[in-house]
Structure 1
Amino acid sequence: MKTIVRMMEHLFWANERLFTDLSGREDADTEIVRLLRHIVVAEEVWITRLEGNSSGHLILWGEAELPALREQIQNNERRYRDYIGRLTEEKLDATVRYSSQSGVPFQDTVRDILAHVALHGQYHRGQINRAVTARMGSPAVLDYIVFCRDEKEKG
Structure 2
Amino acid sequence: MFQYHVWASKKLFDYLQSEEVKPLFFKEVQSVFPSISEVTAHMLTVDHLWFERIKGVKNEGDSPVQFTSVEEAAEKMLQLHEDMATFLAQADPNRLIEYQTSEGEPYTNTIGEVVTHIINHGTYHRGNITAILRQLGVKGVSTDYIYFLRERK
Superposition TM-score tier, normalisation by shorter sequence: 0.7 to 0.9
Shift of 1:104: 2.6
Which of these residues, 68, 72, 77, is aligned with residue 73 of structure 1?
Answer: 77
How high is the sequence identity, in percent, across the aligned residues?
A: 21
Q: d(CA) in 2 for partners of 1:120 and 1:15? A: 12
Gaps of 5+ in 1: 1-6
Q: d(CA) in 2 for partners of 1:55 and 1:124? A: 23
Farther off after superposition, 67-76 or 47-56: 67-76
Shift of 1:103: 2.7
Q: d(CA) in 1 for partners of 2:82 and 2:74? A: 13
In structure 2, what is the equivalent of residue 64 of structure 1?
67
Deviations 1:85-140 (A, max 9, x none): 112xxx32221111222333222111110100000000010111011111131101
Task: Please give the TM-score of this superposition, normalised by the length of structure 1.
Answer: 0.83
Gaps of 5+ in 2: 29-34
Q: d(CA) in 2 for partners of 1:43 and 1:122? A: 12
Cα RMSD for the two superposed structures: 1.7
Greater helix percent: which structure? 1
In the alignment of these two chains, the number of paired residues is: 142
In structure 2, what is the equivalent of residue 4 of structure 1?
none
In structure 2, what is the equivalent of residue 103 of structure 1?
104
8 Å contact kept, 2:3–2:85: no
Runs of 4+ in structure 1 deviating by more than 3 angstroms, as ranges, are none
Task: Please give the TM-score of this superposition, normalised by the length of structure 2.
Answer: 0.84
